[in-house]
């Protein structure tokens, strides 16, 4: 049970990191991001402020230190982490009826794990495989028609919804092969540490890519909380609809892959 709780916290944290670019206006906070209710707005805003303090004290400094590493090292680390995440994307492709994408992603994983040296080099993209798009169980629930429920800001973990929180537990019931061979089974070749280290590294990599865009959004938002909420909800709906649209203040349509410009 302790392992499940720890894994849930880490998975949620890395699935709901906050970042975005900005066009210099607060148009995002003025937009209605669907019918998702902010049922606990008072508590959410207090939690949001708490998370900002933690980010200033811990997460941003660590991310800045990570950015000191040579670009090829960071790129290789990001590629390897994306390769691991493919193990959770493939079953979601299948559950969403995207069998062709499941096959492509399975091929990407095999090529990058072998020829690409555990994914450090994205050889699959170089030889023409379709661009990789992450899928998770929250998206799958949305595709199946499950509503988002209330918007929730979790301590440390960040923005989410009831649906996304429920979806995050899909990894813990056999939905993530990487979790299965590390935490669940603690095999001879992999251990709990490998899973937690990869998840933490993924969070650091994401935060490092988005330091500038995150700071710009905060600086230019009249209501930073509202901007983050709107951006998160818009992005989640776009992913569920497999839309290529870009929200007004994003540099990239994928919440987890925003690159600073």
For range 25-49, the mean pLDDT: 71
For range 162-180, the mean pLDDT: 78
Task: Flag whether pLDDT at 105 surpasses 60.
Answer: yes
For range 165-175, the mean pLDDT: 75
Lowest mean pLDDT among 50-54, 132-136, 197-201: 197-201
Spatial separation of the C-alpha atoms in residues 142 and 164, rounded to whole Å: 9
Task: Flag whether pLDDT at 111 surpasses 90.
Answer: yes
pLDDT of the residue at 10: 43
Q: How far is CA 202 from the centre of its chain?
A: 9
pLDDT tens profile 220-258? 889 999 999 998 999 899 988 876 554 444 433 344 443
Q: Dig out the tokens for 24 from the structure.
A: 């210099």
Spatial separation of the C-alpha atoms in residues 186 and 188, rounded to whole Å: 7
Rounded mean pLDDT of the chain? 79
Which SS3 state, helix, strand or coil, does residue 120 take?
coil
The residues pairing with 151 across neighbouring beta strands, listed in sequence order, are: 161
């Amino acid at each position: 049970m302790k392992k499940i709780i720890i894994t849930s916290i880490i998975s949620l944290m890395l699935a709901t990191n906050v970042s975005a670019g900005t066009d210099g206006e607060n148009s995002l906070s003025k937009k209605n991001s669907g019918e998702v209710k902010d049922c606990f707005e008072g508590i959410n805003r207090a939690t949001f402020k708490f998370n900002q303090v933690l980010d200033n004290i811990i997460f941003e400094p660590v991310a800045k230190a990570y950015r000191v590493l040579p670009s090829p090292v960071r790129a290789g680390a990001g590629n390897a982490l994306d390769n691991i995440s493919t193990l959770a994307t493939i079953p979601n492709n299948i559950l969403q009826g995207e069998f062709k994408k499941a096959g492509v992603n399975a091929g990407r994983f095999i090529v990058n794990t072998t020829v690409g040296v555990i994914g450090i080099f994205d050889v699959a993209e170089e030889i023409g495989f379709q661009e990789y798009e992450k899928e998770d169980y929250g998206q799958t629930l949305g595709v199946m028609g499950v509503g988002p429920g209330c918007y929730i800001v979790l301590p440390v973990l960040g923005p989410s919804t009831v649906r996304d929180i429920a979806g995050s537990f899909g990894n813990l019931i056999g939905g993530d092969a990487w979790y299965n061979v590390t935490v669940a089974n603690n095999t001879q070749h992999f251990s709990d540490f490998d899973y937690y280290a990869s998840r933490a590294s993924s969070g650091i990599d994401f935060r490092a890519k988005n330091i500038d865009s995150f700071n710009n959004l905060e600086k230019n938002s009249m209501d930073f909380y509202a901007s983050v909420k709107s951006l998160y909800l818009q992005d989640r709906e776009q992913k569920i609809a497999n839309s290529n649209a870009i929200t007004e203040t994003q540099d990239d349509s994928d919440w987890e892959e925003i690159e600073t410009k």
